Amino acid sequence: MVQLKSTEIERLLRLPEYSPIERLDKSSLTKEEHAQIRQVEEVVSFGQDLIDLFDWMIDARGTLPTQKDYVNSGINKMLKWLSENKPELEVTTVMVEACKTRLTRTYMSKVIELHFEASIREHMPEFKIITHPLDSVMGVDAVIEDNRKRYYMHITSNTPMAIKLLKVKESRGGYKLGNAFIKYNRDFNGDIMLKYDIHTETDTTMIINGFPLLRPDFIQWRLLLAGDSATAGESLDIPYSKLDHFTDWAKHQLKQDIQLKRGA
């Protein structure tokens, strides 16, 4: 697994080829075209291949892909998924553009999470990052732990809509196995939310070439608060943790023994 340093991520994002690509302008669309966009937005997941694409591209190339390359690679996977799982849909030009817009948002989120993990490794070595092959099922962006507690992290934009969608996300846990959807009951109680600002540099956020990134000192401050809080995170001594619940679910529902990896 290729691990990029935070400074390397920042350097790459400053390059002209990493500039965000233009998104679909919804202001001039018809009512019917807005309905077509909703059909794309209502799809919860376009499959594991798309979930894994960002990490796969980093490993395959040894560096951060540009947003343009990521979108070009992802759009065919999205259209293939629609063809196989929503054959009744007639995919229009507007729907293709909506898929591309969704990919640009995913790319931005992935870059923010990648930079967050690099910041943890470099500035907060007392924390270990926990990874596993089905991390999307739990609905959290990162799981980290120190010598006392475990923290389930959500990284989202500082907007009312994003915060509202996080609540919706809590009810959407599960995994598609063949044609069956195996439900997973998510629990976000005690989880930590890190909010970044989209367009303006603030105490929480730096903006590089249009991409917001969480400031390492803000992450440290937020985790310090969580460490002192009685309600944030979970004790490592808890008899049955959220990770225990997840691995038991995977073992009994998916017949998979999940191997957790703890890395600096």
pLDDT at position 100 is 96
CA 32/CA 131 separation, integer angstroms: 42
Segments of the chain scoring below 50 in pLDDT: none
**Whole-structure pTM over 0.85, yes or no?**
yes
Query: What are the C-alpha distances in Å from 247 to residues 72, 105, 204, 240, 242?
Result: 34, 29, 33, 11, 9
Query: What is the per-residue pLDDT across 136-172, written as a single tens digit (0 to 9) for each?
Result: 899 999 999 999 999 999 999 999 888 888 888 998 8
Helix-helix angle 93-123:67-85, to 10 degrees:
130
Give one DSSP letter per residue of the chain, joined into a string: -----HHHHHHHHHSGGGSPPPPP--TT--HHHHHHHHHHHT-S---HHHHHHHHHHHHHHSSPPPHHHHHHHHHHHHHHHHHHH-TT----HHHHHHHHHHHHHHHHHHHHHHHHHHHHHHH-TT-EEEE-TTHHHHT-SEEEE-SSEEEEEEEEESSHHHHHHHHHHHT--EEEETTEEEE-----TT-EEEEE-SSS--SSEEEETTEEEE-HHHHHHHHHHHHH-SSSSEETT-SS-HHHHHHHHIIIII------EEE-
- Among 46, 47, 223, 40, smallest CA distance to 119 is for 223
pLDDT at position 264 is 66
Q: Which pair of tokens denotes residue 13?
A: 């994002």
The answer to whether 151 and 143 have CB atoms below 8 angstroms apart is yes
